[in-house]
Structure 1
Amino acid sequence: MTTPTMQKAWIIERMGHPSKTLKLKSDWPVPSEIPKDHVLVKIQAAALNPVGWKLMLVAPNFVAKRPLPAEYDFAGVIEKKNGTKFEVGNPVFGSIHVPIAMKTRQGTLAEYALVPDICVTERPSNIDAIHASGLTLAGLTAWQSLFEYAHLKAGQTVFVYGASTAVGLFAIQIAKARGIKVVASASGRNEELVKKTGADEFIDYTKEPIHKYLTSHPPSPKFHAIIDAYGLSDPSLYAHSAAYMAPGGVFVTTTPGPHDISFKEIGNLFKTIAAVTWPSWLGGVPRKFKFVSLKANKANLEAFRDLVAEGKIVGIVDSVYGMQDVLKAYERIMSSRATGKVVVKVEGST
């Protein structure tokens, strides 16, 4: 079947709220030239990520290279290839990492996307496109947090804050698959899900500020790392970490930025900057602080894919929307009530 020259795609036209900046177009060009070591993927499903709507809100057009299709995560089939191991028709999943998306002006809320080989892998037969579509960006963020930044090993213990987020749920599954003990914190309403995902211990952060609880109930042995999967603006969990994290331990965070535009959140951000930059010999926090900058890494992606194939990692889906209902999907993810991935079914949508 001949690949069409035009496609439907949700295009980000300007900076702003998704409801104001996104427009569904039916005449967006399908890439016709496939560079070496790239594939053209026919998208079956795409998952939304917080980084998607946050960049829409804060990044001006000249930085974000707009207009371009929205989002990064996908599952689909190989439509065309050039110099890769894939065959046409192979089911795949992956993510177009943010810097690559800006450079190539590709996105996954579209019927087709041009993807570098480094960003895509074969989809195992034990997972469908809907559940595979949201694996990669959050999954690799969790993977690199655990192993590239915290350098955790089997037999050690990690504390996962924001355990019911997509990154948190993947961090639990990956850590358990690698023989790492997991203590996890989330709202009490998500306790069952977090424990079902594999957490050894659960702490409800809504009952008491988490740094106060951990200071008065220090683990033994102390945590070898803390993964902040929520992206705290308040530095308290890090600032008091010497009480519950072992010397040499690493505090790893995803997005330690304001979660709204308020004086409290902006103030917390400056407090975090001070806590991170103040040297320990002057009374600063005597523990390492690292911010995750996700990088495309084929070896990480393949190792992650193997755990999916073994059934040790599953995609947790909150909700599924049709292509015509993308704005409703953004309402869901921006509500902070989604547990798991918000997915858009692209193929077959009207």
Structure 2
Amino acid sequence: MATTYSAWVATRKGLPSTSLQLKTFPIPTKLPKGHVLVKVQAVALNPFCYKMMAGLPNFVAGRPHVAERDLAGVVVNPNDTEFAEGDQVFGTTPVAKLGTLAEYVVLPSSSLALQPPNVTPVEAAGLGIVVLTANQAIADLKVKSGQTVFINGGSSGVGLSAIQIAKSLGCKVVATASGRNEEFLLSLGVDEFIDYTRAPLVEQFTKRAPPKFDGIFDAVGLTDPALYLGCGAYLAPGGKYISAGGFPSTRKDFGGPLRQVVEGNFRPTWLGGVAAKYAIVTCPTRKEDYEAGRALVAKGAVKPIVDSVFPFDRDGFMAAYEKLMTNRTVGKVVIEVGVRA
């Protein structure tokens, strides 16, 4: 039996090609109470992780630490928790420094749930952040059957999940992506597709006939502050604007767009501010949230979408991150660590 394992460790500020190093660690034999040892089968990459890798200094990010947040794997030491040896699980690390891009991980049992029976480990690897974030966002919008939801970034991992969750509630969904993804999004039930490359979204929306949107979910984060600042023209009174984050790019100054949103949010309406409240949704980490995400997948309300799969070696992870950083993926980019317990 193996006594050591390999992991990709973020060692310094920079893009993955310069930050990540493969290191070897002993497989833990003593675990903290309430934690389990998992043999990793697959890891889904998240744009947030490489952006933080490239944007935050070591003392803020707590480096060195193992990279990434999502995983699917097999429990090898349940450590007197609710799990049993051999259980196939998925989940998300509660903090970034407990990374998952490794052959083994130790995680709190509260951050894991049994894999839905209708998905593979590669599909389950991407369920954590995207499904939980999308489910929380749609819940926060408080939309009802028959109402219209606008989802910006419909081909992103979070966007794809949000589309399916909103449709399962009986909502009409308007979603954006580039034109090459139109047919795929329509196949998921999108009622109206908008190609964001044809013209600025605010320009397209101001020409769009009523009714207004009952809720807006910006699944790609704050890539265009004008979308929020102009939403008074296309968001119904009382409707909410929710974003999946505020980090549009690793290569741009975040301060400008964020400042515009802060100013727009807090300026009084009579001075030209934005009536709709801007809110950022974060991935929930409660046990019941994981179980809710599992239930959505198990009953078929959400089907995980995998864009591409890469191996665990250096060539594999470099190709995986290069693919992710094109911003042209449809669904999750996954690294397959191992498929056998």
TM-score of Structure 1 vs Structure 2, range by shorter chain:
over 0.9
| Pairwise CA RMSD | 1.9
Aligned partner (choices 205, 209, 214) of residue 224 of structure 1? 214
Deviations 1:38-84 (A, max 9, x none): 22111000011011111111222222222221111111111112342
Distance 2:143 2:26 in 1: 44
Matches for 1:1-350 after TM superposition, within 5 Å:
4-25=2-23, 27-97=24-94, 100-102=95-97, 106-147=98-139, 149-220=140-211, 222-262=212-252, 267-324=256-313, 325-347=316-338
Query: Contact 2:155–2:329 (CA<8 Å) still a contact in 1?
Result: no
- SS of equivalent residue, structure 1 residue 189: helix
Note the C-alpha offset of 1:266.
Answer: 5.3
The AA in structure 2 aligned to 1:16 is G
Contact 1:46 1:133 in 2 (8 A): yes
For residues 226 and 101 of structure 2, what CA distance do their matches in structure 1 show? 38
Q: Secondary structure at the match of 1:224?
A: strand
User: Could you tell me how far apart the structure 1 residues matched to 2:30 and 2:144 are?
Assistant: 43
The TM-score normalised by the length of structure 1 is 0.91
Letter paired with 1:339: V
The amino acid across from 1:333 in the alignment is L
Kept in 2: contact 1:235–1:275 (CA 8 A): no
1:128 Cα shift?
A: 0.4
Distance 2:42 2:251 in 1: 32
Superposed CA offset, 1:68-119 (max 9, x none): 211111111111123422111011111113xx233xxx21111111111221
What amino acid is the match of 1:155? Answer: G
CA contact (8 A) 1:233 1:269 kept: no
For the 8 Å contact 1:234–1:272, the answer to whether it is kept is: no
1:250 Cα offset (Å): 0.6
Q: Which runs of 5+ in 1 are unaligned?
A: none
Query: Separation in 2 of the partners of 1:101 and 1:237?
Result: 30
Alignment partner of 1:35: what SS?
coil
Structure 2: tracts of 5 or more residues without a match = none
For residue 187 of structure 1, report the CA deviation from its aligned partner: 1.0
Q: Percent identity?
A: 46
Q: Deviations over 1:142-188 (max 9, x none)?
A: 111111x3223333221001111111101001111122221111111
> Which of 233-242 and 169-178 deviates more?
233-242
Shift of 1:260: 4.7
Distance 2:287 2:65 in 1: 25
Change in Cα spacing, 1:303 to 1:295, as seen in structure 2 (3 Å) is: closer
8 A contact 1:158–1:225 mirrored in 2: yes
For residues 129 and 302 of structure 1, the distance between their equivalents in structure 2, rounded to whole angstroms, comes to: 17
